[in-house]
A = this chain, B = another copy of it.
Amino acid sequence: MNENDNLLPYKDHFLYNILNPKSIAVFGANNNLLETMGSMQLRNIIAGGGLTGNIYPIHPRLENVQGIKAYKSVLDLPITPDLAFLILPTTAVPTVMEECGQKGVKNLLITSGGFREIGLEGIKLSQQVDSIAKKYKMRFIGPNCLGMYNGWYRYPDIKNAYLNTLWMYKTPERGNISIVSQSGTIATQLSWYANDLGIKIGKSISVGNEANIDITDFLDYFQKDPLTEVIGLYIEEIKRGKEFIRLAKDIVPQKPIIAIYAGGTEASTRSIMSHTGSIAGNQRIYDSVFKETGIIQTDSILDFLYLLRTFSFAQKYNIYPEGKKVAIISDSGGAGSMMTKSLELNGLEVPEFSRELKSKFLDKIPSTASANNPIDVTFHDDFFGLIYKFPEILIKSGEINSVIVYGIYDFDEIIEMVETSGIKVDESFKQIKNVIPRTVLKPIKRLMQKYSVPVFYVGPLPYRFTWNRLIIDNEIPLFSMWDQPPRCLAALTNYSLVYKKKE
């Protein structure tokens, strides 16, 4: 993202102020981080850095909360806060909202649950909340939500701050993905996996019951937001169907949308009813909405994460395959065969190479190996061949549209094992780690961009291994295990052929 992009247009959106308040009043936090949810949430706001000096805990008894002067009521505040954040017992919400209204607060975030999702009594309270909001012209996210993570808090005016009102203290690295979710978990608990996999999330919002602000509002905002290039949705119910469809159709060609729809079966509908009070609909209705809009649908949380990462990469570097032809280079016949099958079942092709292209590999692989597609290099010690030279030949061949490379890209453990066995490891081998960003990772990304051919690296080692971290940190798509690459490549290719590149 270029900082000079004109960020102004979307700053006029009413959600900009909610996601980027200059001051915040927090109701329901104390000093007990482990037992009071709001306390952890206040801690996370403080940790974000950007609001220092502008955080106002409101507490009936405490003079000081987590080192910050507290006030008995919002009415006592020296300023009118941009955002009021309520993590209070349900019944306290209307009174506090009234006071916020009197103080002139226009935006709220209501974490408190116990509204329509619990039945009649909650519905009444919900109506009360709605009418107070109407009276004071207030907008609010929630109730029954966790709030938001905004990794780009007041960017570019403030460079390294974030706003995290979620309970989760762990934040993802920021990037071009924006998530809006009717589940707090999907908005928040993905952070560990996100960081392991290198999924960079710029915004993640838990919208809860959507009594006032809904997913469709966020779609509208994300469309205008230059920092959003990929959108993730977790849906239990779409409230404004027509607007949602119209907007999504408009957005998808520029910004791919990945969605989970959790309803559609008998018990899941009951589960959703008691979760956010939503009335989930028939799966076929949602299927047709997704089809009509071009939204990519999945029921799997791992698919969701990997698809977000795949499109985040494709969008950021503008690397979209121009056709369905995939080349596989593998030092494993088994993983190669499984991926080949999966690619075909997902509608892609693994074509034989031309005689000319095959001949380019024959002197580079063992005599027992195969230069068909997949290229099975069997056991070999040509690390740079597998990771760079072979993909380069394929990319430049013009015969294929994307490449999957299967192998082992981390040798720290092997080096340690060999040395433990009392055998000396050549220093140059140990140094590969230090040179691959310059000699392999950056050049291969340049090739991918130049030819618009994505290269996916796949292997059996965990993401946490040091060399693997290097690949992830350099934003090269690395997959631990081989279920995901064919699925992600199929989704990417399908999207590309409809919206980006014509075959």
Q: Which residues of chain A have a CB within 8 Å of any CB of chain B?
A: 31, 33-35, 37, 43, 47, 66-67, 90, 112-114, 117-118, 144, 167, 169-170, 181-186, 189-190, 192-193, 196, 234, 236, 260, 262-268, 270-272, 274-276, 299-303, 328, 332-338, 340-345, 349-352, 366-368, 370, 372-374, 376, 378-379, 381, 413-414, 417-418, 421-423, 425-426, 429, 460-462, 464, 481-483
Residues on B with beta carbons closer than 8 Å to the beta carbon of A266: 344
Task: Assess whether A190 is in contact with B460, with CB atoms less than 8 Å apart.
Answer: yes
- Assembled-state Cα–Cα distance A44/B267 (Å): 51
- Assembled-state Cα–Cα distance A67/B332 (Å): 31
Select from chain B the residue with minimum beta-carbon distance to A305: B481
Task: Assess whether B483 is in contact with A336, with CB atoms less than 8 Å apart.
Answer: no
Task: Assess whether B34 is in contact with A418, with CB atoms less than 8 Å apart.
Answer: yes
Task: Assess whether B183 is in contact with A414, with CB atoms less than 8 Å apart.
Answer: no
Task: Assess whether B418 is in contact with A337, with CB atoms less than 8 Å apart.
Answer: no
- Assembled-state Cα–Cα distance A34/B430 (Å): 12
Residues on B with beta carbons closer than 8 Å to the beta carbon of A374: 271
A470 to chain B, nearest CB (A): 18
Task: Assess whether B460 is in contact with A335, with CB atoms less than 8 Å apart.
Answer: no
A425 to chain B, nearest CB (A): 7
Q: Which of A182, A276, A338, A351 has the most CB of B within 10 A?
A: A338
| A274-B462 contact in complex given A181-B334, A183-B334, A268-B341, C-beta closer than 8 Å | no
- Assembled-state Cα–Cα distance A413/B191 (Å): 13
Closest 10 CB pairs of A and B: A183-B334, A275-B333, A185-B332, A274-B370, A189-B460, A267-B350, A268-B341, A114-B368, A113-B368, A265-B344
- Assembled-state Cα–Cα distance A361/B244 (Å): 38
| A301-B184 contact in complex given A169-B414, A352-B270, C-beta closer than 8 Å | no
Residues on B with beta carbons closer than 8 Å to the beta carbon of A114: 367-368
